[in-house]
Structure 1
C-alpha cells in the first residue's frame, strides 16, 4: 500500500505541475490569443454572415468622374519608359518614400533594391521605382519655381532615373493617394510585370529569397495572388489622439475587410489590374491606405494570403536561421547595409542546410519567435516552417 500511495502521489504531482505549466502559458499568451480569436471571429462573421461586406462596397462606390478627382494629379517626375523593351519583368517594386528620405533611397539602391545586382546575380529583371508626393511647404510654390528639397529630388532623379512624383502633399493622410499612384502607374507604364510589390522605405527585403519564391509561383501560374502579413477582423481606431483615428462618418462599421500590412506585400499581375479597376469607382477618402487596398480587393473578390515571413510592424530577430527564410522585416534604416551583408552571406546556407542545420534552426526560431508579447514580426508558427 505504501508503494502504491507513493505512485499515486507522484502521478498527481506530475498532473499538478503540468496543469500549472499549461495555465502559466495561457496566462502569458492570453492577451494575444484572445485578440487573435476575436479578430478571426469578427473576420469570418462579416465575411460569411453579415452580407459579405457588400454594404461597404455599395457605400464606397461613387461615379467615375468623382473617383477620378482622387488621382487627378500632375506628374512632376516620371519615367513612362521604365519598363519599355523589357519583355520579362518578374517584379515591379514600388517603394513608398518621402521627399526628404534621400539616404533611405540611396541605401535601398545599394542593397536589396539594386537592379543590376538582381539581374546579374539572381538572373531576373526587377524594376524599382520610388513613389512620392511634395513636401508640404513646397507644394504651394512648386508651380512658380523650384527650390530646396525639390531641386535635390530633380538632381537625384537625373542620376538614378527611378523617382515618380505627383503634386499632392506627401503626408500620412495622403497615403491612399500614393496607393492610387502606384497601381495606376503600374497599369499605364508596366502592365506586363508578373508581380507587383509595394513597400515602405524603412523595410528590408531579402531579395534572393523573394525572387526564388516568386519565380516558383510564376512557374505554377498563380492567380488571385496577394501575400503579406494579414490583418483579419481589425477594428477602426476611434481614439482621436491616434494617427490611425478614423471617424464614424468616414467608416461607420465595426471591422475592416481583411488586408495586408502596408509595410510590404506582393500581388500578381491579375490582382494589380483588379485593384486598379476597383479604384476607378471607389471613394478614396479613407486615408488608411492598406485598409483601402483591402476594400478594393474585397470589391473584386480577392482575399489576402498569410506568409509567415512577411513582417508586420515589427523587426525580425538578427540571426542566420531567420535570414534563411526571411522575406521582409520592418524598421530598418541605419542598419540596412550590415543586415544586407549578413543576410546574403553564403554562410547562412551552410549553417542552415542539412538535417542538423534544420533541427538547430527550429530550436533557435522557437526561442526567438515564441517569446511572450513578440507578435509584430514573424508568428511563432514560422519556427516550424
Structure 2
C-alpha cells in the first residue's frame, strides 16, 4: 500500500518539480521513500486518498479514509491530489471498484476498532490462556501480550478481598470438641475484627513510649541474675567486639531418670548427668513463640552418649536445630576452615588418648628436621564439677570465640539468619551456680533491623488487583499476626518473582491476634500491601486447619485457580520448579503433590500427643508435609463444599487433615499422588522445590542466590 497525494485547486504541486518538493515535504511532514513519499510512523492518518495495488487492470484506486474527524489535525491533506489521473473505467469496472472501496473501508474500520478498543482486553486474556503453551505461537503471543501489559496501565477490574468470606457459622458444634473450639474462636475473632474497624479503634492514640536505652555495659550478681529468671536482657543486642564474661561453678553430677542427652542402657534406672546451657537468644524477634537460639553453648561434663566430656554448639529457629558442632577433645584438622584464624576446637586430654600419634610425629621431626618440636602444654577438659571457672565469649569478625580461664577453647562461625544485633537476651540453665555475669562493649544505639522497623512501606511490594480471569496457581501462605518480618521477607524474596504475573497469585492468610496493638498494625499492613486475607477467628495452633480451608475457598471462588498451593511464611518456594513438576501430570487428572508420608502413626505421648478422641485410627492417611504442597482445584472445591454443608471433618494437624480430605475425594475420583523429597520439611537441601524453617535473612540470601542461577541453601545443612 502506498500514499498518492492529490492535486487541488489551491495547490499546484508536481512530484518532479524541485521547487515545490521542499514545500510539499514541509507541509505534509513526509520523508523520502524509494517509490514516492511515506508518512512517518508516528502520524495518525486524517482524510486522504489510499491506493491499493490490485491484480486487475485497474492499478490504482483512491479510497477515502472513513474517519474525517482527524482531518482537523492535518488540514493540508484535504488539499492534496494525485500526480496523475487514472484511466477511464467502464460501468462494470466502476461497480467493481465501488464494491472494493466499500469492502476496504469496512476492513479499515474493523481493524481500527480491534486495535484501539479490543486489543488491550485481548492482550490481558492472552496471558491467561493456555498455562502450558507449545513451542510455537503460544510463546510469541505470550511475550507480545506481556510487552503490551508492561506499556499499558493494568485495569483494576477486581479488588483484593482483605477478609475471608468463609462462613464459620455453619460449623457443626456437636460433631467434635475441635468444632466447638473453632466456633468460639470465630465468635471472639469476629468481635475483635469489628472493634478493629471502628473509627475510635483506628484513630486511638498510642501511649507515649519512651525510647529504650542502650547501655554500654550490664553487670548482674548471681542473686540478681537468679531473681530475673536466669535471663539477662540486652536491649540493643551485641555488635562486633562485644564480650560477655561469666564467673560460675558447675554442680556435681546428679542422677537423671529420663536423660535428654543419652539413652538409658537396659537395666539402668538412672544416669549421672552434669551439664549447663549458655545461650544467646533473640527475645524480640517474634512475640509469643520460643525465641531463636542465636548461639547454643552446651558443655557436657557427664552424661553424654559418647561417655566422654564434650562441648556442643548449635543454633535453633522455631524449634528446628541446625547441624551441631561437637568438640570432643581432638583439635580441628589443619585443613579445616578457621574462625578469625582460630580453630573451631582445641585439644584437651582424653582418657583414651595414648598419645602414640604425637610420639611418632615428634620422632620424625627430630629425625628429619634435626630439631625438637615446639613445646606444647596439655590441658584438661576446661570444666570440672564444683570448681570455679571464668568464661569469656567475644564477638569476632567471623564468629564467636570462647575462652575459659584465659585460654582459647572453641570458636563457632556465624550462621546465616542469626546475627549479633538480634541477640537481645542471655540465658543460663542447667547444673551451674552463677556468681556474676558481665556484658561489655555493647552498641549504644538501636540496630537498623529492629522489629519495629521491619515493614518497608514501598509501592514496590504492593500486590496487584486480582486478575479478571482464571489463574494457573494460587498460593496461600499461612502466617501469624505478629510475623511482620517473615511476611516482609517473603515479599522481598520469592514472592517478588510472581507479583507482576497474571498466571500466579499469592496471599497471606492471617487470623486475629490476642493483642489489640498487633491487630491494629496488621490491619494497616493489610490495607497498604493488599496481599493479606484476614480469617476472622482468634488464632491458635489447633485451629490452623481453618486457614487451610480458607485458602481453598479463596482459591476456587475469588481467583478461580487451576491449582492451589499451601505453604508457611518461613517456607522459601522455587515456583518455576514446582510448576514444572505439576505440569508433568495431565491437566485432566486430580493432583496431590508434596513430600508425602505413608503409614505414619499418631504420637500418643509427649508435646505433640494426639488422643484417641481426636484421632481414633491407628494410622494417618497418606499426607504431604505442611510447609509446601499443591492440590488441584477439584479437590479444593470438594473441601469447601463439604465445609459449607457441615460435613467436613476437622483435625488439629492441618497437613494430616488435607491428607484425610484427599483420601475421601479419592474414593469418588482417582487422585494422582506425587511424592518428592525436594519439598523439604526439615530445613533446606540443594536443588530444593521448597525449603522450610528459613529465617527472614535466610529468605533474602536464598533469593539472591536463586537470581544468580544457584538454587542453594543459606544454612549449614
TM-score category of the 2 structures, normalised to the smaller one: 0.5 to 0.7
TM-score, with structure 2 as normaliser: 0.34
Query: Do residues 306 (structure 1) and 675 (structure 2) align?
Result: yes
**Structure 1 counterpart of 2:604:** 238
Query: Do residues 327 (structure 1) and 689 (structure 2) align?
Result: yes
2-side partners of 1:346 and 1:107: how far apart?
20
2-side partners of 1:260 and 1:88: how far apart?
26
Aligned match for 1:118, one of 492, 498, 518: 498
**Structure 2 counterpart of 1:128:** 506
Q: 1:348 to 1:182 in 2, by over 3 A?
A: closer
Structure 1 residues 317-364: Cα deviation after superposition (integer angstroms, max 9, x where no partner): 3xxxx23xx210111013111111112313679xxxxxxxxxxxxxxx
Q: Contact 1:88–1:193 (CA<8 Å) still a contact in 2? A: yes
Aligned match for 1:204, one of 554, 567, 572: 572
2-side partners of 1:283 and 1:85: how far apart?
30
2-side partners of 1:180 and 1:274: how far apart?
11
How much does 1:245 deviate?
Answer: 1.6
How much does 1:286 deviate?
Answer: 2.0
Q: 1:283 to 1:250 in 2, by over 3 A?
A: farther
**Structure 2 counterpart of 1:229:** 595
Q: Which has the larger radius of gyration?
A: 2
Structure 1 residues 65-108: Cα deviation after superposition (integer angstroms, max 9, x where no partner): 62797576649499xx9875432412111000000000110111
1-side partners of 2:469 and 2:615: how far apart?
42
Q: 1:185 to 1:335 in 2, by over 3 A?
A: same
Q: 1:134 to 1:198 in 2, by over 3 A?
A: same
How much does 1:285 deviate?
Answer: 4.5
Aligned match for 1:174, one of 523, 536, 543: 543
Q: Which has the higher strand share?
A: 2
Q: Greater relative contact order (Cα 8 A, min sep 6): structure 1 or 2?
A: 1
Q: Contact 2:626–2:654 (CA<8 Å) still a contact in 1? A: yes
Q: Contact 1:111–1:337 (CA<8 Å) still a contact in 2? A: yes
Of residues 303-312 and 196-205 in structure 1, the stretch that sits farther from structure 2 once superposed is 303-312
How much does 1:208 deviate?
Answer: 3.0
2-side partners of 1:194 and 1:285: how far apart?
24
Query: Do residues 264 (structure 1) and 628 (structure 2) align?
Result: yes
Aligned match for 2:639, one of 275, 286, 307: 275
How much does 1:207 deviate?
Answer: 2.2
Q: Contact 2:475–2:566 (CA<8 Å) still a contact in 1? A: yes
Q: 1:346 to 1:257 in 2, by over 3 A?
A: closer
Q: Contact 2:602–2:609 (CA<8 Å) still a contact in 1? A: yes
How much does 1:172 deviate?
Answer: 0.9
Q: Contact 1:119–1:125 (CA<8 Å) still a contact in 2? A: no
1-side partners of 2:485 and 2:639: how far apart?
31
Q: 1:253 to 1:104 in 2, by over 3 A?
A: same
Q: 1:252 to 1:162 in 2, by over 3 A?
A: same
Q: Contact 2:467–2:502 (CA<8 Å) still a contact in 1? A: no
How much does 1:223 deviate?
Answer: 2.1
Q: Secondary structure of 1:86's match?
A: coil
Query: Do residues 189 (structure 1) and 558 (structure 2) align?
Result: yes
Q: Contact 1:176–1:284 (CA<8 Å) still a contact in 2? A: no
2-side partners of 1:89 and 1:304: how far apart?
22
Q: 1:293 to 1:346 in 2, by over 3 A?
A: closer
Query: Do residues 340 (structure 1) and 446 (structure 2) align?
Result: no
Q: How many residues align?
A: 260
How much does 1:124 deviate?
Answer: 5.0
**Structure 2 counterpart of 1:21:** none
Gaps in structure 1 of 5+ consecutive residues: 1-63, 139-146, 350-376, 378-385
Q: Secondary structure of 2:552's match?
A: helix
Structure 1 residues 105-135: Cα deviation after superposition (integer angstroms, max 9, x where no partner): 0111111112xx3265xx6521111001122
Structure 1 residues 240-280: Cα deviation after superposition (integer angstroms, max 9, x where no partner): x31x2211112111101111111110111122212223334
2-side partners of 1:266 and 1:165: how far apart?
22
Q: Contact 1:260–1:304 (CA<8 Å) still a contact in 2? A: no
1-side partners of 2:561 and 2:661: how far apart?
20
Q: Secondary structure of 1:113's match?
A: helix
Structure 1 residues 140-171: Cα deviation after superposition (integer angstroms, max 9, x where no partner): xxxxxxx4111111111121101111232212
Q: Secondary structure of 2:172's match?
A: helix
1-side partners of 2:603 and 2:535: how far apart?
29
1-side partners of 2:487 and 2:596: how far apart?
26
Q: How does 1:1-385 map to 2 (within 5 A)?
A: 66=172, 70=182, 74=190, 76=193, 84-114=466-496, 117-118=497-498, 125-136=503-514, 138=515, 147-190=516-559, 192-214=560-582, 216-217=583-584, 220-239=586-605, 241-242=606-607, 244-279=608-643, 280-282=645-647, 284-301=649-666, 302=671, 304-312=673-681, 314-317=682-685, 322-323=686-687, 326-333=688-695, 334-346=697-709
2-side partners of 1:100 and 1:288: how far apart?
21
2-side partners of 1:339 and 1:82: how far apart?
24
